[in-house]
Structure 1
Amino acid sequence: MAKQSALPELKAAGWDSHSVAMANVRFTAMARRLPSILRQAVTLAWQASARDTLAALVLNLCTGVATAFGLLATRGVLQALFDAGPTLERVRAALPSLAMVAAATAARSGLSIAAGWAQARLEPQVLNTAERRLFELTTRVKLAAFDDAGFSDEMERARNRGSLAVQFLVRAAIDLSAGLAGLAATALTLALLHPLLLGALLLASVPAAWAAIRAARLAYLSNHAHTSRRRRLWMLADLMAHRATAAELRAFTMRPFLLREYDQMARAETVTELDVVRRQTVTRLIGSVFSGIATAGVYAVLGALLIEGSLPLASAGTAVLALQAARTALALAVTNVNRVYEEGLYFSDYTGFLERAGQRMPRIPAQRGPLPAPHTISVERVTLHYADTDSPAVTDASLTVHHGQTIALVGENGSGKTSLARLIAGLYHPDHGAVCWDGRSLSGADPDDVWRHVAMVSQEYWHWPFTAERNILLGTDDEPADGRVQAAARRAGAHDMIEGLPDGYQTLLSRNFRGGQDLSGGQWQRLAAARAFYRDAPVLICDEPSAALDARAEHALFAALRAGAPRRITVLITHRLANVRHADHIYVLRDGHITEHGTHDELIAAGGGYAELFALQATGYATGAAPGRPAAPRQANGADMPDAARQE
């Protein structure tokens, strides 16, 4: 019995989300949906580039016409060559038709190249149009949408597979049109040669089409059957050859375990692939036998027509060439029917996401004038639920903060601090209650008008792959020539660190680029703080701004925050309570509720949850304090705490 893999069942990949539907669909179902899918593909391609879409379609049609013309001209050549008389005279008689064959062949080749050129021009434009339309929505949709797991999954499918499906669908649709044009050209040629030959072509196409569809279906089903195992192999390969895992792989002696898992998967994959090869070979053999029988039947019809004198020998030779061309065109058409249908399923993911994302866009109010910087922010009994959660993140919370004040939001993990801060910043809108700037509810304001007044130092900052200078300038079109960038970096304690990089402020901060550098967590956090200082917005949200900083850098950062506090409204979130002692007002949250509020001294005197948390932290700095025992009152007030803890 084979050993069970240690890897659990994998979640369905976005690029494979329709594999079950594709595995069960019948060709007749594909054919019914094809007109609708093709119409959508052509519509999108037309929007991307009407000129190139029209050129690709018309040129493919003209290629089919040239094919038909060349086949009919070939009949003229054969008629002249098979006619009675001296060889030289027959060759001379065939020259005009031969010239037409050469012209048709050249025209067909030129038209095919031109059609390929138009298609090659069209595909990147289609992809750009599709992705731009997607990103216009993902960058504008309400932030709350990203908390909905269903919306996030739809977005990943649309982004990772749906956008590419648009490009692949257009390509397959144009290839299908080329195959159908070629098939129509040969069918027309045979109908002109003898109507019975057209019927013979249709009958002969059945086994060829069946064999092509069967082979494609078998390949798809086999690929779908071991997709999960392939993904496991990719995961294991990434774990064994990645810089981020190299240290732990060695420290925890993971090498034997990972190699065993890899060998187990690889052996099973090899057995599966060998079985697939065997089944495909059998299918191709059966298809070849049926195709051979069908071809023999066609030639039997040709022979009967020749014997009866109903079909001249030249027309019979032309029919043979037409049948060969028809087989090539049929294979192209059948292959792309499958591709069009499959890509159409993923294209529906894309269009469906665009529709649902459009329903989650923020409401832009009627013309009410620009939103000025707030002098007073009031939170009035707000409640906020996240998608797919039972309990609210914030419940019936109220507070007020004025220009020049600093408020601190304090509480244990999951108490609702970040959620409340994002409500204040207008990143979320409450389910109940209102957040007002100078009496104007943010729910009725243009989000961009709100956010241009906000700067944020988040605990979940992104490592933007730009230069150090551009990281500080994010969100602005400023020309960094007035020294403001360096000034902001100095206030955040990042200037010396940036100057120490190989190219200073022009150093690329991503190892994905040649010469790029990476930073430590604390260095990235200083850069995030510098970005907020440069923005110099009237509302500053600091959510754990010093979590990755050393004591000296933390001290400098909070000193800079206090120095700039009179010019703005500051909302501070931190678990290091010594840093909130200077806040004008402190709000303590628990399970989304504001349970206490007041100044530091008032909350210490009240002896509630804030005093308990502060005393616990102060105990760690108190000399001789017993583990687990709260510090004495004078220590709780910070009198004996070192500078790094008091942040004086």
Structure 2
Amino acid sequence: MSAPHHRTDSPDVDAARKGGEAASLPAARTGAPQPSAPPELDYNGRKHRRAMDDATLWDMARRIPAALIQTARLAWSVDRRMALTIVVCQLLSGIGTAVMLTAVAKALPQLMVDDPRQGLAHAWPALTVAVVAMATGAAMWILADWATRRLNPKIASAADLQLVDLHMRAELAAYDAEGFGDRSQAAEIGALRAVDLADDAKTLTNGLVQLASAAVVLTTLHPLLLGVLLLSVVPRGLGGVIAARVDYRVHDQTISARNVRGMMRWWLTTAELADELRANTMRGYLHFWYRSMCDRVEMREVAGARPYLRITLLAASLGGLFTLGMWASLAGLVLAGAMTTAIAGTAVVASQTAGRALNSIIRYSTVMFHHGLYLSDYYEFIDEVRAMTTARGTAQAKPPQQIRLEGASYTYPSKEAAAVQPINLTLNRGEVVALVGENGAGKSTLIRMLTGLTVASDGKVLWDDTDLADADAESVWRHVGLVPQKNGHWPLAARENINLGQPREHGDERIWDATERVGMTKALRDLPEELETLLARSVWGGHELSGGQWQRLACARAMYREPAVLVLDEPTSEMDARGEHQIFRELRAMASDRITVVVTHRLDNVRMADRVIVLDQGTVREQGSFDELVATEGSLLGELYALAQDR
């Protein structure tokens, strides 16, 4: 990322250039200097940076068939009938072109007679065949387009669903792998572009079929005509490749600015940040920042128009000269008696057909080359994540009476130090355990190990006698209720936000029981449709909850499951005192039927725990009752509690 470029224009000049928008900035009103423009962004680590510029024609020719095969494989997997329809229509369209050109070649000699009526009388059967062939080719194109439009939504859904499903089934360790997020984003782009590839592949293959049909007919009519055809289309083809590179260079130079502008646009227009933006008078600067990004993109796109025009004009001029040469060659062959006038006329028609086909081939080859890179990312990532999906064993876990850690530790991928050092620990049913420690002590990692979200790198985590490394993960999670630090504000109805699709054999009684435990009954009763109300203010008819209410709902979600292992990680950080008191009172009341683990930095709440486990740098530093540990000299809990009381 390069250093920021500072503006040198005066406020008045800048305001004039920006159409008066800069005048709204505080700096412009006071005469103070404008703020520095945003830094130039250039993500040099992009995998496909300068892909088009660096690719040779051989690279493109080699990758395009691979992209076609990948697209065909995806299309075949989602709807074989539509995929086959497209292929058949393309072939029939090409046959129609060949028949049309052949019929034209047959009709032209009959038309070139002294008596037009007689010529037309003899030529009309061939002309009829040509018209029918053209109409058939057009109909096949329309039918192929219809099939593609039916296929595209299925391709989009299949690619997206597979990606989402694998993300949800992957081990959590996959998310911690270096570069996982980048590869995931590249795969998502590939999934999005799979639909474009289907359209591009259809147009490209149609161009190839049309070009092949024209070439076959011309070669059949006269061997020299294939060379004449190449003379007419090669300049346009080369011009198309060079122009495509210019287009891609502009795309490459602006992709970073467009990406970050897109992200910023969401932040500038979302209700979530509207209060902060206004109260902190950020509108002026952020408008300036956003306009700077727009100007950057606009400037580079406008600058790219000039070389594109030069290349297009040069290619058109050369194409015109070569076309003139083609006509001269045809005229020479006719005058020399080596070719009839009718065949020459057919050659002109065929060259026009071939030229249009070649333009499609060049344009969509370059597009497919680029899209194909991302589709390859998609398949590579799918293979990577499929190998990392949760598949541990077949043992069926049962609600545990006891959880034991025997020398259990965990080290994150590409990290040398263990997040949790080898620990020996036992948690018993009916016990409320509080995990305490400073940030980075290993609390969240230990929770993941206790609940089977991650498998210990070394040692064992046992639910009674079942090693979680050998247990079916889903059978473990059926007995877990988890309230994480960041809980989901799911854009679902209130009912589904609590039961998350669990069986409803108990009706709504169990839901209302859970909401009563967390103090959310009145808030839900006050919603327009109670449990049917959509909890998403950004959607028409939806409603929003406060931060504390969302936390209560997350607690209700965990309690609704009536789990054997209940884990709450900072469950009351956004609640008021009344809500916090109610949650911990309910935890205490429910404790006898389960193993309860609470993580909290509010140490006054730790008093309700039967046992406090204090973690320090991934090890158990001390454990015992709250009163015992606080009274112990040198206790970390005592130190943290004293600091909390001094605030």
In the alignment, what sits opposite 2:95? 65
- How far, CA to CA, are the matches of 1:544 and 1:237 in structure 2? 32
- How far, CA to CA, are the matches of 1:270 and 1:28 in structure 2? 33
- How far, CA to CA, are the matches of 1:511 and 1:553 in structure 2? 23
Q: Aligned match of 1:171 in 179, 199, 214?
A: 199
Deviation of 1:286 after TM superposition, in Å, equals 0.5
In the alignment, what sits opposite 2:17? none
Deviation of 1:354 after TM superposition, in Å, equals 1.3
**What SS is found at the alignment partner of 2:224?**
helix
What is the one-letter code of the residue matched to 2:463? W
In the alignment, what sits opposite 1:102? 131
Deviation of 1:593 after TM superposition, in Å, equals 1.1
- How far, CA to CA, are the matches of 1:548 and 1:62 in structure 2? 66
- How far, CA to CA, are the matches of 2:343 and 2:239 in structure 1? 29
In the alignment, what sits opposite 1:523? 549
- How far, CA to CA, are the matches of 1:82 and 1:529 in structure 2? 89
Structure 2 counterparts to residues 477-492 of structure 1, below 5 A: 477-478=503-504, 481-492=507-518
**What SS is found at the alignment partner of 1:537?**
coil
**What SS is found at the alignment partner of 1:351?**
helix
Q: CA separation of 1:290/1:460 partners in 2, compared to 1, >3 Å: closer, same or farther? A: same
- How far, CA to CA, are the matches of 2:507 and 2:296 in structure 1? 62
Q: Is the 8 A contact 1:375 1:403 kept in 2?
A: yes
Q: What fraction of aligned residue pairs are identical, expressed as a percent?
A: 39
- How far, CA to CA, are the matches of 2:267 and 2:169 in structure 1? 35
Q: Aligned match of 1:252 in 280, 283, 296?
A: 280
Q: Aligned match of 2:57 in 20, 23, 27?
A: 27
State whether structure 2 residue 128 is matched by structure 1 residue 125. no
In the alignment, what sits opposite 1:45? 75
- How far, CA to CA, are the matches of 2:294 and 2:432 in structure 1? 60
In the alignment, what sits opposite 1:611? 638
Deviations 1:560-589 (A, max 9, x none): 111111011111111122222232221111
Q: Aligned match of 2:437 in 377, 399, 411?
A: 411
- How far, CA to CA, are the matches of 1:484 and 1:266 in structure 2? 53
Q: Is the 8 A contact 1:127 1:166 kept in 2?
A: yes
Structure 2 counterparts to residues 99-248 of structure 1, below 5 A: 99-159=128-188, 161-235=189-263, 237-248=265-276
**What SS is found at the alignment partner of 2:169?**
coil
**What SS is found at the alignment partner of 1:545?**
coil
In the alignment, what sits opposite 1:578? 604
Q: CA separation of 1:134/1:176 partners in 2, compared to 1, >3 Å: closer, same or farther? A: same
In the alignment, what sits opposite 2:420? 394
Q: Aligned match of 1:501 in 510, 514, 527?
A: 527
Deviations 1:102-136 (A, max 9, x none): 21122111111111112222222222222222223
Q: CA separation of 1:139/1:234 partners in 2, compared to 1, >3 Å: closer, same or farther? A: closer
- How far, CA to CA, are the matches of 1:574 and 1:532 in structure 2? 17
State whether structure 2 residue 551 is matched by structure 1 residue 551. no
Q: CA separation of 1:480/1:515 partners in 2, compared to 1, >3 Å: closer, same or farther? A: farther
In the alignment, what sits opposite 2:120? 91
- How far, CA to CA, are the matches of 2:390 and 2:334 in structure 1? 75
- How far, CA to CA, are the matches of 1:422 and 1:239 in structure 2? 32
- How far, CA to CA, are the matches of 1:239 and 1:418 in structure 2? 29
Deviations 1:142-194 (A, max 9, x none): 012112241222112212x0112322233322221111000011111211221
Q: CA separation of 1:580/1:335 partners in 2, compared to 1, >3 Å: closer, same or farther? A: same
- How far, CA to CA, are the matches of 2:40 and 2:622 in structure 1? 46
In the alignment, what sits opposite 2:335? 307
Q: CA separation of 1:235/1:6 partners in 2, compared to 1, >3 Å: closer, same or farther? A: farther
In the alignment, what sits opposite 2:621? 595
Deviation of 1:519 after TM superposition, in Å, equals 1.2
In the alignment, what sits opposite 1:639? none
Gaps of 5+ in 2: 8-35
Deviation of 1:336 after TM superposition, in Å, equals 1.6
- How far, CA to CA, are the matches of 2:433 and 2:227 in structure 1? 85
Structure 2 counterparts to residues 448-487 of structure 1, below 5 A: 448-478=474-504, 481-487=507-513
**What SS is found at the alignment partner of 1:588?**
strand
State whether structure 2 residue 550 is matched by structure 1 residue 540. no
What is the one-letter code of the residue matched to 2:636? G
- How far, CA to CA, are the matches of 2:252 and 2:558 in structure 1? 49
Deviations 1:329-351 (A, max 9, x none): 11111112112211121111111
In the alignment, what sits opposite 1:624? none
Deviation of 1:484 after TM superposition, in Å, equals 0.8
Deviation of 1:255 after TM superposition, in Å, equals 3.3
Q: Aligned match of 1:563 in 589, 593, 615?
A: 589
State whether structure 2 residue 345 is matched by structure 1 residue 317. yes
- How far, CA to CA, are the matches of 1:437 and 1:400 in structure 2? 10
Deviation of 1:11 after TM superposition, in Å, equals 6.7
In the alignment, what sits opposite 1:3? 6
Q: Is the 8 A contact 2:451 2:477 kept in 1?
A: yes
Q: Is the 8 A contact 1:145 1:152 kept in 2?
A: no
Q: Aligned match of 1:76 in 88, 106, 111?
A: 106
Deviation of 1:605 after TM superposition, in Å, equals 3.3
- How far, CA to CA, are the matches of 1:13 and 1:488 in structure 2? 51
- How far, CA to CA, are the matches of 2:589 and 2:383 in structure 1? 47
- How far, CA to CA, are the matches of 1:262 and 1:540 in structure 2? 46
Q: Is the 8 A contact 2:6 2:37 kept in 1?
A: no
Q: CA separation of 1:430/1:8 partners in 2, compared to 1, >3 Å: closer, same or farther? A: farther
Q: CA separation of 1:163/1:594 partners in 2, compared to 1, >3 Å: closer, same or farther? A: same
Q: CA separation of 1:500/1:357 partners in 2, compared to 1, >3 Å: closer, same or farther? A: same
- How far, CA to CA, are the matches of 2:636 and 2:574 in structure 1? 26
Q: CA separation of 1:276/1:357 partners in 2, compared to 1, >3 Å: closer, same or farther? A: same
**What SS is found at the alignment partner of 1:463?**
coil
**What SS is found at the alignment partner of 1:361?**
coil
**What SS is found at the alignment partner of 1:195?**
coil
Deviation of 1:410 after TM superposition, in Å, equals 1.1
Q: Aligned match of 2:363 in 312, 335, 338?
A: 335
- How far, CA to CA, are the matches of 2:599 and 2:267 in structure 1? 36
**467-476 or 167-176, larger mean C-alpha shift:** 167-176
Deviations 1:530-551 (A, max 9, x none): 1011111111001111111100
**What SS is found at the alignment partner of 2:335?**
helix
**302-311 or 261-270, larger mean C-alpha shift:** 261-270
**What SS is found at the alignment partner of 1:19?**
coil
What is the one-letter code of the residue matched to 2:195? Q
**What SS is found at the alignment partner of 1:517?**
coil
Deviation of 1:512 after TM superposition, in Å, equals 3.0
Q: Is the 8 A contact 1:145 1:360 kept in 2?
A: yes
Q: CA separation of 1:230/1:507 partners in 2, compared to 1, >3 Å: closer, same or farther? A: same
**What SS is found at the alignment partner of 2:133?**
helix
In the alignment, what sits opposite 1:287? 315
State whether structure 2 residue 455 is matched by structure 1 residue 429. yes
- How far, CA to CA, are the matches of 2:614 and 2:293 in structure 1? 53
What is the one-letter code of the residue matched to 2:230? L
Report the TM-score, using the length of structure 1 for normalisation: 0.90
Deviations 1:231-273 (A, max 9, x none): 4544554554443333333333333333443454444444433
**What SS is found at the alignment partner of 2:405?**
strand
- How far, CA to CA, are the matches of 1:333 and 1:44 in structure 2? 21
Report the TM-score, using the length of structure 2 for normalisation: 0.90
Q: CA separation of 1:486/1:24 partners in 2, compared to 1, >3 Å: closer, same or farther? A: same
**230-239 or 380-389, larger mean C-alpha shift:** 230-239
Gaps of 5+ in 1: 620-626, 629-648
